[in-house]
Every structure is written in C-alpha cells, then in structure tokens.
Structure 1
Amino acid sequence: MKLMKKAIMSRPAWDNIEAVKENRVWVLYNDILGGPAHFVGI
C-alpha cells in the first residue's frame, strides 16, 4: 500500500492539492467496508 500511496501522490499536477502538499493522503483496503453498498465519505 505504500507503493500505491507513492504512485498516487506523484501523479502530474497533484502537487497542487493541499492534502498531497501536507501528506494527508490515505490508502484504504477496499474489503474493510464489506461491500459496494457502503458509503465512503460525505
């Protein structure tokens, strides 16, 4: 998951996103939610 986070944060133009600038990007394991019927964020 560390490699995935690094790949996401190094995408072109993403260095302008505040969360990337402040290292506030999290990668979550999809199965933690139990299925597609669950909401992820509001």
Structure 2
Amino acid sequence: MKRLIPTTATPWHPRRPARPAAMAPKPLPPLVQALLSRTG
C-alpha cells in the first residue's frame, strides 16, 4: 500500500514557495511612502 504524501510536504507544489516570494517585491503602501518622503 502506498502512503499518501500530504500536500504540505510535496516539494513540487508551486503555491507554498511562491507565496512569500511574491510578497517580497511588493511596493510599499502609500501611507508608508508618504511617511518616508516626509522624514527623508
């Protein structure tokens, strides 16, 4: 009998690793940009 591998353990699953990678290059929210432009 073959054991079913949980979806969280599958290395080929594209959604798990792509989530944080897609969040990283996100631009800063307008509120943060306004605060940075004021202080800078």
TM over 0.5, yes or no? no
Q: Which protein has greater RCO, CA pairs closer than 8 Å, 6+ apart?
A: 1
Give the TM-score normalised by structure 1. 0.22
